[in-house]
Structure 1
Amino acid sequence: MFIATIDEQDATGEIAEIYAAEARTLGFVMEGTKCWTALPQVAPLVEHLLHAARSNFSLGLVNWRLITLVAAKQIPSTYCSHVYAKLLIQDLDSKEKVRAIQHDFRTAGLAAKTVAMLVYAEQIARDASLVTERDIDLLRHHGFSDREIADIAFCASYRCFMSRFFDAVGAMPESTWLDPDPEFRAAMTVGKPA
């Protein structure tokens, strides 16, 4: 990490609660969580927004993770690529499937509706100014409601915000997230070296 953050033993109030909850869940506190404590007035807001958005995401946790993986590649965010690849391996029970999705989700055997969702998320992460009403109509044609389209847009946009801050302050993926397979690890290292 390039900047000073609040250490776990020095955390108080809401930040201590955030750290404790993450340590209970993961067994450690991620650098991606700690880095926000350089702005202690913002850290709880970021954390609460993430949890509120993810827990109310209309398309389910696996789609949240798929969108995040695709967006992370475009940003490019090594941190988020490794974290979400590891989570998706558990979800999909296949490292090969996750690698295929990260390489090119269009040819990874996903349903046409899922591919349409990821095409939209990818464009948001690349350059959202190029999204047109035609893109939205195509999503509707695939059966997405406006609420679901807004959720996809939020998830991809939020990942850009989070990942760019992580890189800007030097947060790096913990060894827990790094796959032992060097080829897989290299594929998920899309930005800064891990």
Structure 2
Amino acid sequence: MFLHTIGEEEATGRVAEIYAAQRQQLGFVMEAMKSFTTRPDLLPAYTDFSDKVRAGFSLGQRAWRLITLIAARQVPSSYCSHVYRKQLVADLGSPAAVLAVQRDFRSAGLPAREVEMLAYAEKVATDASKVTLADIDQLRAAGFTDQEIGDIALCAAFRCFVGRFFDAVGAGVEPAFLAEDESFRSAMTVGRAV
């Protein structure tokens, strides 16, 4: 981490509660969480917002993780790419399947609906000013509701925000999120070296 953040031993109040909850869930406190304590008043706002966005996400956790993978490649955010690695392997069945989606989701054997979702997410993460009504109409034609389309945009844009913030303050990928296989780890490193 490039900046001073609140360590677990010095955390108090709501920051200490958030740290304790994450430690109980993961066994450690992520640098991503600590990074928000350069402004301790924002950590509760961030966790509340993040929890609400994810809890109400209309497309399910597989879609959340796929969108994250594609947006992380565009940011580029190695942190976000690695953090979701293990869950993506479980979702897609193998590291090779994850890398196929990361390389070119259009030819990775995903269902057509997911390809449409990821094409939109990629456009949002790359340059959202290029999104047009035709893109939205294409998603609607693929069966997405406006709430689902909004959720795709929210997930991709949220990933751009947090991925860039984590890199800007020097949050490093925790060892627990890194694949043992060196070639897979290297391929999932889409931005800053880990």
Q: Distance in 1 between matches of 2:85 and 2:67?
A: 11
In the comparison of the two structures, how many residue pairs are matched?
194
**Structure 1 position 87, deviation (Å):** 1.9
Give the letter for the 2:80 counterpart.
C
SS at 1:193's partner residue? coil
What residue is the counterpart of 1:137 in the other structure? 137
SS at 2:171's partner residue? coil
**Structure 1 position 92, deviation (Å):** 3.0
What residue is the counterpart of 1:44 in the other structure? 44
Q: 5 Å matches for 1:5-154?
A: 5-154=5-154
**Structure 1 position 91, deviation (Å):** 2.9
After the TM superposition, list the runs of 4 or more consecutive aligned residues in structure 1 that deviate by more than 4 angstroms. none
- Root-mean-square deviation (Å): 0.8
**Structure 1 position 183, deviation (Å):** 1.0
The one-character-per-residue Cα deviations of 1:25-63 (angstroms, maximum 9, x if unpaired) are 111010011100111111111111111100110000110
SS at 2:20's partner residue? helix
Deviates more, 1:15-24 or 1:138-147: 15-24
Q: Distance in 2 between matches of 1:41 and 1:149?
A: 31
Q: Distance in 1 between matches of 2:23 and 2:103?
A: 32
Structure 1: stretches of 5+ with no match in the other structure: none
Q: Distance in 1 between matches of 2:36 and 2:124?
A: 24
What residue is the counterpart of 1:159 in the other structure? 159
Deviates more, 1:72-81 or 1:98-107: 98-107
Give the letter for the 2:94 counterpart.
S
Q: Distance in 1 between matches of 2:171 and 2:87?
A: 19
Q: Distance in 2 between matches of 1:151 and 1:19?
A: 27
Give the letter for the 1:34 counterpart.
K
Q: Distance in 2 between matches of 1:16 and 1:53?
A: 22
Give identity over the alignment, percent.
Answer: 56
The one-character-per-residue Cα deviations of 1:47-101 (angstroms, maximum 9, x if unpaired) are 1111110011000011001100100000000000111122211333321111111
TM-score using structure 2 length = 0.98
